[in-house]
Structure 1
Amino acid sequence: MDIKPLTPRLSVAAQLLPQDVQRIAQAGFRTIICNRPDGESADQPVAADIRAAADAAGLAFVHIPAVAGALTDADTAAMRSALDSCPAPALAYCRSGARAEALARMAGAVDADAARYDIVIVGGGSAGMATAASILKRRRGIRLAIVEPSDVHYYQPGWTMVGAGVFNSSVTRRKQAGLIPKGARWIKASAVQFCPDDKQVILSDGRHISYAVLIVCPGLKLDWDAIPGLAETLGRNGVTSNYRYDLAPYTHRLAREFQGGRALFTQPVMPIKCAGAPQKAMYLSCHRWEKSGILARSNVQFHSAGAALFGVPDYIPALMEYVDRYGIHLNFGSKLVAVDGAARTAIFQQSDSEGTRQIAERFDMIHVVPPQIAPDFIRSSPLAAASGFVEVDEATLRHPRHPEIFALGDACATSNAKTAAAARKQAPVVAVNALAALDGRPPVAAYDGYGSCPLTVEAGRIVLAEFGYGGKLLPSFPRWLIDGTRPSRLSWLLKDSILPPVYWHGMLKGREWMVRPQPIGTSLQS
């Protein structure tokens, strides 16, 4: 059996026999691709026999029957999809190996030129998908790739509502494949290194992807391990967090089953995604307990590593009304540093004018928000600012040293709130600026720091915080309709019924409702 390597990820061979498969597995291959239709010759094993042997050996198997001398676009697309999604390295075979090699070349798996793109987007979350869709709405036919390892896409703003029992968790989750914008190529891998001088991204499978313009938006890292004892007790012992898809339903269960006692809610050092989320879980739980008569026999504590209830003072008075109404004990400068789930004890480091000390607080339930940092491959890259996030100009979102690189979403080092609403406003700005860079022109649009945090102070009412750089209020609606500094039923309707479809059917499809990019030098409020 002769095997011809084409790349580190792909080799080709002539017709395989079932008895060859075990040796192929021992050689380190993880996928077999059959490019030969059944029945081409009388002595040919059928693909099902090779598949059965591959299954027994723990290998993936894909059958892409292609007719020699008549390879089609559909064959090419199927080959490209298999090479992007199946474990590497792969071995493709046909009668002689020549057809498999030709198909691999047509699929762009061999030629260096095929790994070059006009625009590469690292990250297929809300920021990456929205930016890709906005770019492709403006310029069809562009060579654009999205680097994203996950099969699943989440609507993370919905997890607060899952934790309150308002949403079912399944409505916040969809398959990634169905969301990729038409015209974009999905590269199912992780980025591990940036080489800006060579204009390349190195992927987890060893591939080097070249770009003319790079957009970086992989999100941030939830650092559960930074708090000793936390990771091993999450989802049990009364320890939960709405910052994870699988844990938000546990928040609902704990709040529903709570019969009084001590409930703790924590907030780490900034930055974190959706700075109001730690409080949202607390207010919605308290409202439930208030209605059921349990709140009176509950000790609810909010422990924040920060010095204020919210970063924009205009919204604090309304929030304090609910703090007083629910009898919440506020503890500022109080940082969670350890959790003992079995003993139901949390350790906090507290700092004040008298110094720093550690205190232990017992709990019946605790909602934890983990520290949040830039992904490891961002922090160690030449793109990172001192904070570890991608360094950018706050207005144009362009890297100061590499004019062909942009960043947005949770991964960029801007001073705005890290929210989905911020990514929604940033995406069109990056889209038009990236296209300008591709054309050799300077940035044409600016971002004003807009972010939104719908603070769910009770079931049915929300304080709709909308603000930009420097805490400037940037309301989307006239005050007579929604006064964002006061709790509103209309704001709840927005969060509950309007924003989810806007996300799935608007933002991720490049529909820039109320977020049209504004030219530099004009008013930036849509």
Structure 2
Amino acid sequence: MTRGIANIDREAIMPITRRNLIKTGVGLGALGAVGLGYWELSKVDSKARIVIVGGGAAGTGLANQLYHFLDGISITVIDPRPYHWYQPGQTLLLAGSYQDRDDVISANKTYLDSRTRWLQDSVVEYRPQQNQVVTAGGQTIAYDYLVVGAGLELRYDMIEGMDTKLIGKDGIHSIYFSPEAGIASHKAALDFANSKGGKAVFTRPQGAMKCAGAPMKATNLVEYFVRETGHRDDFQFDYFTSEGHLFAVKVFNNKLEEIWQQRGINDHRQHTLTAIDSAAKTATFASANGTTTTEWDFIHVVPPMSPVKSVRESELADNNTFKGYLEVDQYTMQHKRFANVFGIGDNVGTPIGKTAASAKSQIPVVASNITALVTGKEPTAKWGGYTSCPMILDVGHAMLWEFDYTIEPMTALPFQVVDPLAESKLAWVMEKSMIRPVYDLMLHGYTPI
């Protein structure tokens, strides 16, 4: 049951004990078992051909969950990447809690159902009028139902002077780029913290992005490493965001402002990174008042992001509100013009929801609505915009932030496990150790919470 907590009453929050956690785990296990039993008893026989573009968290989880609803279907997942990347782990690489590539990279076969056809290729053309997609390898694949979960493209090319070859060198870092970039960022952050002082700059790009909290998590972690050396006064921290706020949810925004004021982190709003000069160690930002250039010794660059070219230039793209993104109903995830097409994950045109937690809550909605179409019914399952952001504060403390389309705090758990405004050790443990098992369950097609 979802319970809103817009008016947060700390006294009413259930105290966390081992017994409570065990009881909650048992409850979730029971719910999962009941749900699985219901699916098995109510499966629909179908020869539907389902094509899923994108084998990330959303695509893989959906492929596996569809087998709970439908028997006899043919599922093809198209993705050029031969491995699965646990992208939420990138901030844990920066924290040093994860330490090597294997902590975030797994073989696809770890999660794939044997009935699924995995095509290691990429879609270059969508033909929704003909119910076909065309791949880079030259294959034309027909479908009865199409789900597009191709993710987002990192647009470093939109920053003048920024070359991905620079990442990990001479003070330029970006945990978004790769597992190796996350590992290198941790080492560089420690080296910076142990230097004689300097200026650290962190950026947040314009437009929608996956894990919008990550730029702030990176800021918090590097500042923490510096503070731990005992020489915080020798360093300057500046955060530049294209937004007019730090975080979209007002109560969370206010809390972060309070923390940053205490820690001496300066924020500059409505500043968009437009250029970087690696030789001069300067970054240029555009703002309403013109351009600003600042020097840096350590810089964390978060690039602009967009749907991949094949999506944003296709007939399936939104040309109005969410330009370039898949044009879907924000609740049913069904395409607004092609009834047998659905979107899932980061590439959908919705107001919020570009996190793994959002993908997890979208999977049962899309699976249910495809099943409805297969049985001749109208799609009625709805996604409410659920988004979760465990805001890491340092190595050992975090705040668990959850919200939805209302842009108000809420919780998806049966009770308030942790106060979202408390600098909590439990929230850190959840981020470091408890979220990954839930994520893996999602990849296998189970979404009990």
Same fold (TM over 0.5): yes
Task: State the one-letter code of the partner of 2:432.
Answer: D
In the alignment, the residues of structure 1 paired with residue 57 and residue 414 of structure 2 have an alpha-carbon distance, to the nearest angstrom, of: 27
**1:459 aligned to which of 388, 391, 395:** 395
In the alignment, the residues of structure 2 paired with residue 242 and residue 397 of structure 1 have an alpha-carbon distance, to the nearest angstrom, of: 30
In the alignment, the residues of structure 2 paired with residue 382 and residue 418 of structure 1 have an alpha-carbon distance, to the nearest angstrom, of: 22
Aligned to 2:422: 486
Aligned to 2:191: 257
Could you say what secondary structure the match of 1:470 adopts? coil
Trace 1:358-507 onto structure 2 (pairs within 5 A). 358-386=291-319, 387-477=323-413, 481-504=417-440, 506-507=441-442
> 1:196 and 2:132 equivalent?
no
CA 168–137 in structure 1, closer or farther in 2 if over 3 Å, else same: farther
CA 132–319 in structure 1, closer or farther in 2 if over 3 Å, else same: same
CA 405–494 in structure 1, closer or farther in 2 if over 3 Å, else same: same
In the alignment, the residues of structure 1 paired with residue 133 and residue 162 of structure 2 have an alpha-carbon distance, to the nearest angstrom, of: 34
CA 478–512 in structure 1, closer or farther in 2 if over 3 Å, else same: closer
Could you say what secondary structure the match of 2:276 adopts? strand
Rg (Cα) greater in structure: 1
Contact 2:112 2:444 in 1 (8 A): no
Ranges of 4+ aligned residues in structure 1 off by more than 6 Å: none
> 1:130 and 2:61 equivalent?
yes
In the alignment, the residues of structure 2 paired with residue 460 and residue 140 of structure 1 have an alpha-carbon distance, to the nearest angstrom, of: 45
CA 480–234 in structure 1, closer or farther in 2 if over 3 Å, else same: closer
Aligned to 1:157: 88
Q: Deviations over 1:211-254 (max 9, x none)?
A: 11100001011101110111142221100011022211121111
Task: State the one-letter code of the partner of 1:328.
Answer: I
Q: Report the TM-score when normalising by structure 2.
A: 0.85
Could you say what secondary structure the match of 2:338 adopts? coil
In the alignment, the residues of structure 2 paired with residue 501 and residue 144 of structure 1 have an alpha-carbon distance, to the nearest angstrom, of: 25
**2:280 aligned to which of 337, 340, 343:** 343
Task: State the one-letter code of the partner of 2:52.
Answer: I
Aligned to 1:57: none
In the alignment, the residues of structure 1 paired with residue 444 and residue 109 of structure 2 have an alpha-carbon distance, to the nearest angstrom, of: 14
Aligned to 2:110: 178
Contact 2:150 2:307 in 1 (8 A): no
In the alignment, the residues of structure 2 paired with residue 443 and residue 117 of structure 1 have an alpha-carbon distance, to the nearest angstrom, of: 16
In the alignment, the residues of structure 2 paired with residue 453 and residue 139 of structure 1 have an alpha-carbon distance, to the nearest angstrom, of: 32
Contact 1:452 1:466 in 2 (8 A): yes
Contact 1:158 1:172 in 2 (8 A): yes
In the alignment, the residues of structure 2 paired with residue 290 and residue 233 of structure 1 have an alpha-carbon distance, to the nearest angstrom, of: 27
Aligned-pair CA distance for 1:137: 2.2
Contact 1:200 1:211 in 2 (8 A): yes
In the alignment, the residues of structure 2 paired with residue 477 and residue 288 of structure 1 have an alpha-carbon distance, to the nearest angstrom, of: 32
In the alignment, the residues of structure 2 paired with residue 209 and residue 477 of structure 1 have an alpha-carbon distance, to the nearest angstrom, of: 40
Task: State the one-letter code of the partner of 1:215.
Answer: V
> 1:213 and 2:150 equivalent?
no
Q: Report the TM-score when normalising by structure 1.
A: 0.73
Could you say what secondary structure the match of 1:269 adopts? coil
Aligned-pair CA distance for 1:286: 0.9
In the alignment, the residues of structure 1 paired with residue 283 and residue 74 of structure 2 have an alpha-carbon distance, to the nearest angstrom, of: 51
Aligned-pair CA distance for 1:118: 1.5
> 1:285 and 2:219 equivalent?
no
Aligned-pair CA distance for 1:461: 1.3
In the alignment, the residues of structure 2 paired with residue 191 and residue 441 of structure 1 have an alpha-carbon distance, to the nearest angstrom, of: 29
Could you say what secondary structure the match of 2:290 adopts? strand
> 1:508 and 2:443 equivalent?
yes
Contact 1:141 1:183 in 2 (8 A): no
**2:162 aligned to which of 217, 224, 230:** 230
Q: Which runs of no fewer than 5 residues in structure 1 stay unpaired? A: 1-115, 515-526
Aligned to 2:24: none
Aligned-pair CA distance for 1:438: 2.4
Aligned to 1:23: none
Query: RMSD of the alignment, in Å?
Result: 1.4
Aligned-pair CA distance for 1:480: 5.4
User: How much identity, in percent, do the aligned residues show?
Assistant: 35
In the alignment, the residues of structure 2 paired with residue 369 and residue 175 of structure 1 have an alpha-carbon distance, to the nearest angstrom, of: 27
In the alignment, the residues of structure 1 paired with residue 343 and residue 431 of structure 2 have an alpha-carbon distance, to the nearest angstrom, of: 27
Aligned-pair CA distance for 1:327: 0.4
In the alignment, the residues of structure 1 paired with residue 132 and residue 145 of structure 2 have an alpha-carbon distance, to the nearest angstrom, of: 10
Aligned to 2:4: none
Contact 1:201 1:210 in 2 (8 A): yes
Contact 1:318 1:487 in 2 (8 A): no
